[in-house]
Amino acid sequence: KAGVTQTPRYLIKTRGQQVTLSCSPISGHRSVSWYQQTPGQGLQFLFEYFSETQRNKGNFPGRFSGRQFSNSRSEMNVSTLELGDSALYLCASSLWDRLEAFFGQGTRLTVV
């Protein structure tokens, strides 16, 4: 069974640009959530989607957005990139909410 797949693995962007990250959950999993990891703030929750609906959002500015498609694949978008957005972005999927979450390998974003 394939795990959670995130693309791309690495990304370098310039301040002011926007970026889209992709996450394909484990087959059959309907809940997809996103996390940001930085050395200073640790792992922080961004948002969670279930059946194409955002059910929960963390404390991030509106520049951070996401969506989930009917096949449960999810994308997150960051607009007007800032240097502080440089981070490891991790996606997790679970069969149902509150059940075991499985993480992808992450996308390492560097903003220069």
Partner 1 sequence: GIQVEQSPPDLILQEGANSTLRCNFSDSVNNLQWFHQNPWGQLINLFYIPSGTKQNGRLSATTVATERYSLLYISSSQTTDSGVYFCAVGGASNSGGSNYKLTFGKGTLLTVNP
From candidates 14, 62, 70, 98, binder to partner 1 by CB under 8 A: 98
**E strands within 31-71?**
31-38, 42-50, 53-57, 64-68
Count interface residues toward partner 1 (CB under 8 A). Answer: 27
Q: What is the smallest separation between the CB atom of 60 and partner 1, expressed in angstroms? A: 12
| 26-30 contacts, C-beta under 8 A, 24 or more apart | 26/1, 26/2, 26/93, 26/102, 27/1, 27/2, 28/95, 29/72, 29/93, 29/94, 29/95, 29/102, 30/72, 30/95, 30/96
Q: What is the smallest separation between the CB atom of 46 and partner 1, expressed in angstroms? A: 9
Both structure tokens of 96? 């149902």
Q: What is the smallest separation between the CB atom of 16 and partner 1, expressed in angstroms? A: 26
From candidates 12, 15, 27, 43, binder to partner 1 by CB under 8 A: 43
Q: Which is nearer to partner 1, 40 or 80 (CB)?
A: 40
The site for partner 1 (CB under 8 A) is made up of 31, 33, 35, 37, 42-45, 48, 50, 55-56, 58, 88, 90, 92, 97-106, 108
